[in-house]
Structures are given as C-alpha cells and as structure tokens.
Amino acid sequence: MEKINIEPIKTEEFDEAANLLSHAFILTPFSSKVAGGQSEKHRRGLKMGFKIMIAKKPGKVVVAKINEKIVGVMRMVKWPDCQNSIPKGFERIPALIIGRGAALRLFKFRSIWKKHDPKQPHWHIDPIGVLPEMQGKGIGSQLLSYFCNQVDMQNEAAYLETDQEQNVRLYEKFGYNILETEPIFDIKNWFLWRPPHNGT
C-alpha cells in the first residue's frame, strides 16, 4: 500500500472528514441504531453531527492521507473535556434531520458513556474511523500508533469505547484493558483503559 501520512486536520477538510466518518459509522449496528437506520437521510444526519464535533468540540483532530486523499480520521481529547457538554446547536441536529427519537437515543448513549468515563486524567479517542473501502489495510492501526506515541510522550493514560468486538482485540494489542461492558440498545459496548506508559 502507498505511504500513509498523518497530520493535523485543516479547516477546509472538515466536510470531507465528517463525510468519511458518517460513511464508516452508518455501517455499524450501534451507530445505525442511534441514527434510526442506514438510509442516506440517516447518514447525512450523522455527517452533520460529526462535522460539528470536529469543528466545535475541544480536542485535536488528525487525518490519515494517501496522496492527499483522507482515508482515516481521529479526534483526541484530554480529560475532562472528553465528556463536556454538547455544543450549542448539536442537540438539534438529530431532531431536525431524522427526528426526535434519534435525539433521545443520542443523549441516552452519551449519558451512559459519560457514566463510565474514568474520573482521572487521561486522553480519549472519540471518534476514530477509516474509509470503508480502505478498512483492513492497517490505517486504523497507524492512527492508533500515532495516538499512543503522543500519549506516551506525556506519560498519560488513555481511554475509549467501542461496540465492535474486533476492535477490542485490536485495542488490546495496543495495551488497552477492558474495564467494563454494558449493553446499550441491546448492543454490547466495551469500555477500555490504557495505563500510562513511559514512552520508552
């Protein structure tokens, strides 16, 4: 595969990055359940939500590129900003695009995630996604390596959530351990913690 470059996102790339995340996440059972389906209308709702998350919420967003094409996106947030309040306007997106039910599901699962979030310093990945046709080619692993290197240089802990069992195995290879699990909308969610590494 061609060389992958990981770099901070540019303002003009917000739309492309949000579009990528919406295509990646609409395919997962959990995200499609929250959105209310997998139609183009539901995907557009996800895209708008991701764009606000990238542009308005705190954190650092990086993109993985091949020949200037974005093939992966990752947002890194330092506690306690990882579970801060939803920015103004975000709460109206699901209700306006795909109905009140999606808004209620969004707030329910975010409140459950917030409950599990460790109340101690850490870095949080939320979200990480790879272009669907490029999945399985190691792009997610390279983004994770980038993240872990950044965290290790600061000798800090890390945390994330996932509803994909195959992702759990990948995260474990990077030093994450399962803290808890909980079904949300009848779909199992894993909450994982990576203790501080000294970066050596």
pLDDT band at 88 (very low <50, low <70, confident <90, very high): very low
In this structure, is residue 40 part of a structural domain? Answer: yes
- Structural domain includes residue 200: no
Q: How many domains does the chain have?
A: 1
Residue 171 belongs to what domain range?
A: 5-194
Q: Could you tell me the pLDDT band of residue 131, with boundaries at 50, 70 and 90? A: very high
pLDDT given at position 84: 63
Residue 124 lies in a domain: yes
Instruction: Kindly state the percentage of the chain with pLDDT values over 90.
Output: 60
pLDDT in tens, 169-197: 999 999 999 999 999 889 999 999 999 98
For residue 79, tell me if it sits in a domain.
Answer: yes
CATH code for position 171: 3.40.630.30
Residue 7, pLDDT above cutoff 80 = yes
Alpha carbon distance 59, 112 (integer Å): 21
* Domain-embedded: residue 167: yes
In a domain, 156, yes or no: yes
In a domain, 144, yes or no: yes
Q: DSSP for the chain, please give it.
A: -PPPEEEEPPGGGHHHHHHHHHHHHTTSHHHHHHHTSSSHHHHHHHHHHHHHHHHHSSSEEEEEEETTEEEEEEEEEETTGGG-PPPTTTTHHHHHHH-HHHHHHHHHHHHHHHHHS-SS--EEEEEEEE-GGGTTSSHHHHHHHHHHHHHHHTT--EEEEES-HHHHHHHHHTT-EEEEEEEETTEEEEEEEE------
Is the pLDDT at 37 greater than 60? The verdict is yes
pLDDT over 70, % of the chain:
88
